[in-house]
Structure 1
Amino acid sequence: MNYFSAENMGFYNDDAGADTFIPEDAVEITEERWRELLNGQATGQYIVAGEDGFPELVSTAPSSS
């Protein structure tokens, strides 16, 4: 299963088993959604955390504030 952490702005996967670290704020995402996000990033989009903690693609760089 794939997860996204808004706090760490990172993806995690629990395929390695019970010892895998998954942050507490991580939300579960499908394999399909994970691939969509990576494909979007490869075409110049940015992955950001939505207000609900789920990852979203945007076409402009997020502010660093």
Structure 2
Amino acid sequence: MAIANSLAMHQAIATTQQESHQPPAAPFTIDQAHTVMQYHVACRANRCPRKAAALHALVEGGRMVLSISKPQ
């Protein structure tokens, strides 16, 4: 029986393992950035370098526009 990779499992890892918050060695692709944003949904981009890098990739790729009224 294969182990399913659920979003909840990845979120638990992302919030408990400090190394999972490190910035990437290379910029994220759009697809990678979307995945990171899902896994780090509970993180703030100003405190999580990995989510910040994903956010940057999505903004630079024209997939997201930052809000000027809400914190990241």
TM-score w.r.t. structure 1 length? 0.29
- Whose radius of gyration is greater, 1 or 2? 2
